[in-house]
Amino acid sequence: MVDAEQETVIEYGKEAITEDDMISNVTIAGMGLAMAVSFLLPFLGVVYCVKKAGVRNVVMFILVGVVGAMLSESLLNILGGVLKINQLEDYSFILYLLLLVILLALADIAARILALLYMKKMDIGFYKAVALGVGFSIGQVFTQVMNYFMNIQYSLMINQGTFVDSIIASQNVTGDELETLRQDVETAQAELIALHPATFYVNTIEQAALVALNIAVIMLMVRFIRQQELVKGFVLGGLIILGYELLYWIPQYGTSEKMNSVISAGTELIISTVIAALILAGSIFLFRKLEKELPKEKFVTPTAKKKQQEDMEKEKNKKAWSEFGNLANRNLKKDVEAESSTDKDAAE
């Protein structure tokens, strides 16, 4: 008798699969949570900025932040291509990792510097700094949101046994390319199945930390710009980003075979969770501190402007009715005096 778990049966284009070949609902739920947090936090940031400052006053800063994040990706690709760092991966993985982290930090801080230099003449205060940080967050987490969405789709396809065939069918390749593609897709499927169920829950904390850090770093740099200490602000911001990249990437690569798997996947998740929690807490602390130091711009939001107009209209109406009342009283007084005078003349 053949063991059911070892038997491969093709039925209606689907492979018979077992629980070991499936992705658990807990893992899929983690993907959904990470996707929701990655989307909602920047969205709530936009809502906060719009409510406090009005759309017209912050939309440009949000857009510049988004463009800045995209520029950072482009700079990274350019620097990586010029320096050909991928060639170092097989030669010295540690050197490759360190150079990659440095390039990530350089591209990121360069984009922030360009964005701030472009906007600094617009008297950036608290709300504008937050809007710029939110824009950077949107640009950086957008790709992650799409990745989480695709992972959910792929997971459902894997659980239905259609992942490999569906991906191959969508590529329209034949011959040796087909076999190579099948191996790559099967490897990707195996890696997704092998992921620890807690992976995406840790990603949720990391995404929250990234959003908070983006806002806090921009606020810190704005503070130094306002104090005419641009270089100091840019250097400090760059060091913070470099530290973040080191703390984020080194534990993840520690599980790689090229690093001789110096730490296990479970240990890496614990380390990453602690690091993300500390970054999140530190970013919130910095945000609260800088909130007291940066001046809050005074905007007349559409809601406030409408209320102001309503109050002015009420005051105008009140004044008109008051003048009308005074005029009526004066006329009444004149009528009374005239009547009294007439009665007096008649009596004489």
Q: Report pLDDT for 46.
A: 93
Residue with tokens 């060639």, as numbered in its chain: 87
Q: Is residue 189 part of a domain?
A: yes
| C-alpha span between 72 and 174 (Å, rounded) | 37
Whether residues 179 and 152 share a domain: the answer is yes
Q: Report pLDDT for 220.
A: 94
Whether residues 242 and 328 share a domain: the answer is no
The answer to whether the beta carbons of residues 143 and 217 sit under 8 Å apart is no
Whether residues 321 and 177 share a domain: the answer is no
The answer to whether the beta carbons of residues 124 and 60 sit under 8 Å apart is no
Whether residues 249 and 321 share a domain: the answer is no
Given 299, 314, 335, the domain boundary residue is 299
Whether residues 259 and 305 share a domain: the answer is no
The reported pTM is: 0.77
| C-alpha span between 158 and 339 (Å, rounded) | 101
In this structure, are strands 10-11 and 14-15 parallel, antiparallel, or unpaired?
Answer: antiparallel
Q: Is residue 165 part of a domain?
A: yes
Among the residues of 161-198, which ranges form H helices?
Answer: 163-171, 175-194
- Cα(first)–Cα(last) distance of the chain, in Å? 138
Query: Which runs of E-coded beta strand occur in 10-137?
Result: 10-11, 14-15
**Who contacts 47 (Cβ-Cβ below 8 Å, separation ≥6)?**
none
- Which of 69, 63, 80 has its CA nearest to residue 131? 63
Whether residues 191 and 309 share a domain: the answer is no
| C-alpha span between 250 and 277 (Å, rounded) | 16
Burial environment of residue 4 by CB neighbours within 10 A (0 to 12, 13 to 18, 19 or more): exposed
Q: Is residue 3 part of a domain?
A: no
- Nearest 10 degrees: CA dihedral of 296, 301, 307, 308? 70
Whether residues 199 and 326 share a domain: the answer is no
DSSP 13: T
Q: Report pLDDT for 6.
A: 39
| C-alpha span between 128 and 118 (Å, rounded) | 13
Q: Report pLDDT for 111.
A: 92
Q: Report pLDDT for 264.
A: 81
pLDDT in tens, the chain (348 residues): 334 433 344 343 445 556 667 899 999 999 999 999 999 999 999 999 998 888 888 899 999 999 999 999 888 888 877 777 777 777 777 888 888 888 889 999 999 999 998 887 788 889 999 999 999 999 988 888 999 999 999 999 999 888 888 888 888 777 777 888 888 888 888 888 888 889 999 999 999 999 999 999 999 999 999 988 989 999 999 999 999 988 888 887 777 766 666 788 888 899 999 999 999 999 999 999 999 999 988 765 555 556 666 666 677 666 766 665 666 566 656 655 555 665 555 555
Q: Is 11 helix (H, G, I), strand (E, B) or coil?
A: strand
Whether residues 222 and 321 share a domain: the answer is no
Q: Report pLDDT for 13.
A: 44
Task: Output the CA torsion sign for 251, 285, 212, 68.
Answer: negative
Whether residues 80 and 169 share a domain: the answer is yes
Residue 342 lies in domain: 301-348
Whether residues 237 and 316 share a domain: the answer is no
DSSP 98: H
Residue 85 CB-half CA count within 13 A: 18
Q: Output phi, psi for 23, to 5 deg.
A: -100, 125
Q: How many CB atoms lie within 10 A of CB 165?
A: 16
